[in-house]
Chains A and B, each alone.
Chain A
Amino acid sequence: MEKNNPEEFKVPFSPLLIGRYKMIKKIGKGSYGSVYKVEDIKDRKTATTPDSPKKYFAVKKMKLPANRLKIQGIDFTTLREINILQEIKHENIIPLVDVFHINRSTFMVMELMKSDLSKLMFSRTITLTIPHIKCIMLQIFYGLKELHKNWIIHRDLTPNNLLISEDGVLKFSDFGLSRFFASNNRPMTQNVVTLHYRAPEILFGANYYGPQIDIFSAGCILGGLLLRGTLFCGRNDIDQMSQIFKIMGTPSEETWEGVTNLPHYVEFEETPPQSFRILFPGIDEDLANLLEGLLVLDPNKRLTVEQCINHPFFNKSPDSCDPDELPMDDIS
């Protein structure tokens, strides 16, 4: 009796995946599925010296839909994510090493990263100086620039999805929601982006939006870095909107052309916009300017990625630090 191909008979949780990746432990879990730390055995075997350093990867196991009837082969979000990751090769975007199937589930092999931005942001032992913030934001903008240059919107830009390697290089991950924009005149869904980082035009139910929603999320992250917490922390859609308008002022036809025509437009109590220099005492004018530019309600007036990178805030002293100077050691 010949044995069948061993690859097909491996159980998903066996220690060896496809006879190549040795499972070590579970790292993370999310809506997309779960992530495991994995050692690449094949590489070690082929290496000439036996003592060569071990190669570690992260394997992302895509979650299957809970309802059995909804299983329709490869999930289309996975399909799009793989395709996008394969096309874009950039220092600030996580590289895809391998894709394989075991039984029903799809596995994606990616580079192993140390932690994510949320840990850096919310830890109380770490102090972030202006150079640190500059470094982080610039890396985010470089990643975004590459994405937008390739006509891709990320659509889920949160600190949780920004991974940091040991050298302090920031990498975008989790492209499950992202898509090519303007492939045609089709409307897009509104159930996009984590609520706390959602742009006002999506909250108002606009079907046609652009890369500017990523910019707004980036603005929220910058605010979070200064505040060391989430900037707008609403409980639901309307609460979120009211929190945004408390700071940015309520939109009207004068400040934002065409708001009233949006599908879910609701009128709020009129509040004047606050200046960020009062909110964050101690920040200089350029930083306040940048924050304001990122968080403008009207997507038309929001800064583009190019403008962000060339913003005077980044040209001023103190210069941004090198990525490896980020306080990575303190992350527990």
Chain B
Amino acid sequence: MNKLPSHKITKAQWPRESISPHSKSQICNKNLKAPARHFVTQMNVYSDEKNDEKLYKKVLLEDEKYQNVDLSADFQTNEPKSTSRRQVLKWIYHFGQKFKQSCITIQTAIIYFDKLIGKLPIMHIKHESDLWAATCLLVASKFAEPDMNVVRISDLRKVNKKFKLMVMKKYEKKLCSILNWELNFITPAHYRDSVVDEAHELEYCSKDIYGHNDTIILMSTELRNIKYSTIECACYLYFKDLQDSHIAKTLINSFGSSVRDIKRCIEYLSGYKKPEEKPIHIPKAIKTNMNLTAEIKLPSVDSSHKKNKSVSNTGRSSTFEDSNCPNRSISREQECANKYIQKYNVTSKISKFKEKNSFCQQPLARCESVDVVNNDDMNKSASKLPGFMNRSLIICREKAVLRKRLDLSCEADGSKGSDTTAESRPIAKNYAYGVGRMYYCNSKISSKMKKVRKSQDQNLSQVSIVKSLKMTKDSQLNNSRDSALPPGFSKNNMGTGSKQRRHQRLLKKCRYPLGKKTSLVYSKADRVKVYKISQKELESVPVILTRSRLTNRR
């Protein structure tokens, strides 16, 4: 007699199999459904690949009806509001990529923000839009990102000093309670694998990973009531230029999405990109310096906007100099501007300006990648480095930015400057306020730094680095930092404060350990900081760290 366990199950206390998985309330709650696909592809561990695939699509597509709800009609229809929403999404996207978050994380952050809009009065969000955006990104990365890659509040603080630990905690709790702790949402990115696989099965396309830029643009739009799977499909088709081929039809059929929706998406995508290229984004820092350039009388050239801006851009570099040697800088500035305008014709100007802009937009102090230095070797070496090199790279980067500025001024002179030219050096001195010594030593030794320092320099060679600009010019630095934010975001509030306080703050920062293996020693002479980095790592960054004679200034 074979009795099934179900025979016993009929009793009330016994654990029953959960009933009717597709009742509405459950579906709204259960959210993420995806089978074990990664280990199928990676290790071939499990044999039920095909069944899994089918299940995956089936479950995902069934859930979709309930997932994509119209969130907040009010926020969409009113134009200024929707633009501000788009800015927030831009912010999330920009910094999500900076922190190397996956597309799922970024998209969930966007969904959190959308839910938030529906539940809070809009004025609340509008005043603190950047704070809310940051919390959304933070919570999303905590939830979806693997453990090592989670964004920390200290990272966010480097973006904007507004994001203090206590403030962020408060907002985090608020966000969680507003969302009722339901943090798991399906995003378009969840459909990506199946879209790519579907296309791959038809033997037309490679399995390349494609940019998720388009998806986020689509998510940020007024196009509503479109399924996420169609969004992903449309992005794929647009990215691969397959709109008209018959793969498109089969793809659309298999995902059950309507042709009209996909056409709308693609139209929007193709329409969106063109206007994006035309207007050139002016960072705020430049705008504020427009007054300065007005004082310098420029030769009258046809006043197209672009030229004015280019002048203002060079004018900005003058602001860094004038406290030390104002006369010289202004005269220099005039020359630069004149020559610059005469030398280049309009087309080259635009391209030049874009380049400059691109570096202007980079935040100064917080960076993980070294994209300012457009050097392939540099990028490669940066990717090899472990995490704790970041700090030194920041310094490198600051120097690189400085150099770029110098280069620009030299270029305007026509002498295609590099830092080795005699002209640029004195200016570099002006910028440098303190000079650090960099020691080669192993990270293991770092705890025994004192001993190393006693035995001193025989094994260690010195490398000097320009630490930062003069303290008095911090506010200007802050300006340039802010320029990284899209317009509409507030500046740092930390600009005001006495010199002493700032100094103390710097001191405090230095005493904390920076990473797991790095530590920072603050020597007695106030302005010298010592960074410890192993030799191998230093060798891999030869482009930027150069030996200079500035060490003697200590």
Contact = CB atoms under 8 A, between A and B. Distances in A.
Given A71-B165, A182-B34, A309-B5, A299 B45 contact: yes
Contact of A169 (B7, B13, B43, B102): B13
| Binding site secondary structure of chain A | loop
Contacts of B16: 91
Nearest to B173: A101
Contacts, number: 150
Contacts of B172: 73-74
A127 interface: no
A182 B168 CA distance: 30
A72 interface: yes
A239 interface: no
B46 A83 contact: no
Interface stretch (A12-20, A155-163, A202-210): A202-210
B104 interface: yes
Contacts of A188: 146
Interface in B44-59: 44-47
A151 interface: yes
A40 interface: no
A72 B146 contact: no
B4 A315 contact: yes
Interface in A256-302: 257-258, 299-300
A210 B45 contact: yes
B147 A73 contact: no
Given A73-B153, A258-B43, A146 B146 contact: no
A187 B146 contact: yes
B41 A323 contact: no
A10 interface: no
Given A79-B139, A322-B11, A182 B18 contact: no
A80 interface: yes
Secondary structure of the B contact surface, majority rule: loop
Contacts of B525: none
Given A150-B30, A183-B32, A184-B102, A83 B183 contact: yes
A139 B193 contact: no
Interface string A131-161: 0000000110011011001110000000000
A99 interface: yes
A237 interface: no
Interface of B: 1-5, 7-8, 11, 13-18, 21, 29-39, 41-47, 102, 104, 138-139, 142-144, 146-147, 150, 152-154, 165, 168-169, 172-173, 176, 181-184, 189-190, 193, 512-513
17 contacts: A76-B143, A76-B147, A83-B184, A101-B173, A143-B15, A180-B34, A184-B190, A185-B193, A186-B146, A189-B146, A208-B39, A211-B36, A315-B3, A315-B5, A322-B11, A322-B14, A323-B14
